[in-house]
Amino acid sequence: MSNETVHSVNPYSGEVIQSFRPLSVEEVAVSAARAHKAFLAWRKVPVAERCGLLERASEVLLSRKSELAQTITAEMGKPITQSLAEIEKCAWVCRYYAGEAPSQLARTLIETDADRSYVRYDPLGTVLAVMPWNYPFWQVFRFAAPTLTAGNTALLKHASNVWLCGEAIESVFREAGYPEGVFRHLKIGSDQVEALLDHPAVKAVSLTGSGGAGSAVARAAGSRIKKSLLELGGNNALVVFDDADLDAALETCIQARFQNTGQSCIAGKRLLVHRKIADGFVAALVDRVKALKSGDPEDPDTYIGVLAREDLARDLEAQYQESVNKGAHTACGGKRDGAFFEPTILTGVQPGMPAFDQETFGPLLAVTEFDDEDEALDLLGNSQYGLGVSLFTRDTARAERLVPEIEEGAVFINELVKSDPRLPFGGVKASGYGRELSALGIREFVNAKTVYIVASTGSDHPGKD
């Protein structure tokens, strides 16, 4: 990217919204130094005061909800009602940590031979966040709310097609009263990430993105002995057993696959359905998907918008076409027009087809039938990814019995996989490592420091070696 002008483009209209000049290497270094200087003061601010600022950030988000949602829709094409919901969810994560952080960061007392021993949770320093475009506010806030409240400062490297969102997020923290330098959006490309990791102020990195980007950042962080958290892709399965509540499963599967125009790592991309019910379930699914309103993302009735860039739609089209060439059948959809790709259902999908093996980042659902529980588990596990799975059955005891056999970061029973501030979020295998959200999330970027106190140092003290 170097110093080339970066344009923010509306993917629906093709209009250039705003142009940006990327920061120079020298400007980035100055920003990192300022973040470290801010950290030295920020870590001393009482947790209760940090929580007050986070509560204020939630209020700012809600007071500016319409404006911020419009920015999301303009930059990456998300239907406006879903953009509004994204802002509301960001306010929720702020409120959650504003209430829970004091107890989550409180020292943990541990009984040992010492007179007193405990673990305290101290911030690491400045954390770099490398974030994607598909949920341009939520991905950042689910990182920033716990990370800042733990006492760290943050530098955001946002995807280059959503820099307006990055600027808006920084303005939210500024309006909420956060000190200068605690959170900064850096207008830089991926080519400057490694140099940032070289900076002594940057102690860790959190990345949400592709497997390739995650591997590169993990290598760079590992070679510098700096912590990394990776939230990467997913190829989640929706497993519908023959005893499921089919009407409820149908509605949930549609939402799981097609919200955000299918551009989500946790979307249910593979539908595994029991052969006994497959014909009727898929027929009903096709009818419902054909009825989804596509069009202008600014129309409140639109459910399927455009993909964030035309090249993403072309990539999805190629995966679709190769799967058809290998024997999959088109139940509906399959056509592309610029950045728009019709909501599509493929049946007869088998391992070896891109629609089964690869992450499809758009409104395409791949249907595979199974005969029994063992075959369902084999198909489910036949993936390099391990982010999450949804099981649909009335027999919840059976579903819970299957949970230990499933290599995923999350198992949702009769519900779509989703992120919730109260629950840890993250994957295994090629879906990454580390956990965001919940108490685990706020403790990802802290020093869990052991403190061991002996009041008397007499030689007969049982804790003395």
Residues noted as catalytic: 231
For residues 53 and 178, what is the distance between their CA atoms, to the nearest angstrom?
7
Contacts for 386 with CB less than 8 Å, ≥ 6 apart: 407, 408, 409, 427, 428, 429, 430, 431
> Per-residue DSSP letters for 206-236?
EEES-HHHHHHHHHHHHHTT-EEEEE----E
Read off the tokens for 92.
């929720």
Read off the tokens for 371.
């005969």
CB 193 within 8 A of CB 128: yes
For residues 39 and 3, what is the distance between their CA atoms, to the nearest angstrom?
28
For residues 12 and 338, what is the distance between their CA atoms, to the nearest angstrom?
9
For residues 91 and 65, what is the distance between their CA atoms, to the nearest angstrom?
10
For residues 347 and 368, what is the distance between their CA atoms, to the nearest angstrom?
7
> Per-residue DSSP letters for 5-56?
-EEEE-TTT--EEEEEPPPPHHHHHHHHHHHHHHHHHHTTS-HHHHHHHHHH
Region of 304 on the Ramachandran plot (φ > 0 left; ψ -120 to 50 alpha; else beta): beta
Number of Cβ within 10 Å of residue 154's Cβ equals 24
For residues 177 and 35, what is the distance between their CA atoms, to the nearest angstrom?
16
> Per-residue DSSP letters for 364-399?
EEEEEEESSHHHHHHHHH-SSEES-EEEE-S-HHHH
Read off the tokens for 70.
């419009």
Read off the tokens for 228.
């990394």
